[in-house]
Amino acid sequence: MSNMPTAQIAQINGNSLAFYEWGQQGSPVLICLHSHTNSAASWREFAEFASSKYHVFALDQRGHGNSEWARDGYARDRFVEDLAEFVEIKDFKNMTLVGCSMGGWHSILYAAKNANNVDRIVMVDIAPEPSTERLQAPPAPPVPPEFQTFEDGYQWLRSGNGLASDGRLHEEAESRLKQTDSGTWTWKADLNGFDNPLPDMTSTDLIGRYWSAIENIQCPIFEIRGAESGLVSDDTINKMKNLGKDVTSVDVASAGHVVMVDQPEAFIEAVRGFVGL
């Protein structure tokens, strides 16, 4: 199993954020932004593949992975400000943004304000609003704050994901769990900092901002849905295509919400034409 590059740390808006880097200086920049409670490690296979052409960066966003838990909260705009600050510190131009779930929201909010900096956006299983089916589904079981053993944590992740391979889900558990001083295992993500479900699912203000971003973004947007996810409806995809300047989409079979973890090879296959790999 391949490993992640060594974590590097950047001071961003008062928090220490971890990031990971692949590829050559001077290649076009591609930034990967993970989903809620996940980490940069969810992009490993794609980042390795994309590094043949791109200078790839994956961030552990605030309160996630090996980044610091934020002192100033987790409002959507804080994440977008972090991305903006990271881009500014690194002096990136003409970037490709690839965002899964909340990372997709952060990508479109950033691009709507920084149009000259973004060449293209990949949104992974996320849209301005959730499907009716998802809104009407019974709430997900609460996330246990800790597990007696690592294996218990792995099994809990498996209970919500029957699609990822054992090896990949094991890697996923390793990137998302940490051992406590008492020997139990707990999440790296700051679960206390987040409202669950996320306010974006129902907030008319946020949903309105996401639709406005889709309408105003000039660069191409590529939506990749997990065929088993059900979060993004066909109607929403059609509305995105009608509103947006250049929106295309594809579904990946046997994948749920975090498509690149469930089906890493199929994810790469689906996205490579859009990003020119």
Measuring CA to CA, which residue among 163, 165, 187 is closest to residue 175?
Answer: 187
Q: What is the pLDDT of residues 131-142, one digit of tens each?
A: 999 999 998 888
d(C-alpha 184, C-alpha 165), whole Å: 25
Residue 195's pLDDT is 84
Residue 165's pLDDT is 98
d(C-alpha 199, C-alpha 185), whole Å: 28
Residue 132's pLDDT is 96
Ranges of the chain whose pLDDT falls below 50: none
d(C-alpha 4, C-alpha 118), whole Å: 26
pTM, entire model: 0.98
Q: Token pair for residue 85?
A: 């600050």
Instruction: Identify each DSSP E strand in the chain by its residue range.
Output: 8-12, 15-22, 29-33, 55-59, 95-100, 118-124, 146-147, 177-179, 185-187, 221-226, 247-252
Residue 103's pLDDT is 98
Angle at 199 between CA 198 and CA 200, to 5 degrees: 90
Number of residues in the chain: 277
Q: How many CA atoms lie within 13 A of 198 on its CB side?
A: 19
Q: Which domains does the chain have, with CATH numbers?
A: 8-134+201-275 (3.40.50.1820)
Q: What is the pLDDT of residues 73-125, one digit of tens each?
A: 999 999 999 999 999 999 999 999 999 999 999 999 999 999 999 999 999 99
Residue 197's pLDDT is 84
Measuring CA to CA, which residue among 39, 46, 73 is closest to residue 177?
Answer: 39
Measuring CA to CA, which residue among 233, 229, 249 is closest to residue 241?
Answer: 249
d(C-alpha 110, C-alpha 97), whole Å: 10
d(C-alpha 70, C-alpha 61), whole Å: 10
167 near 45, Cβ under 8 Å? no
Residue 201's pLDDT is 94
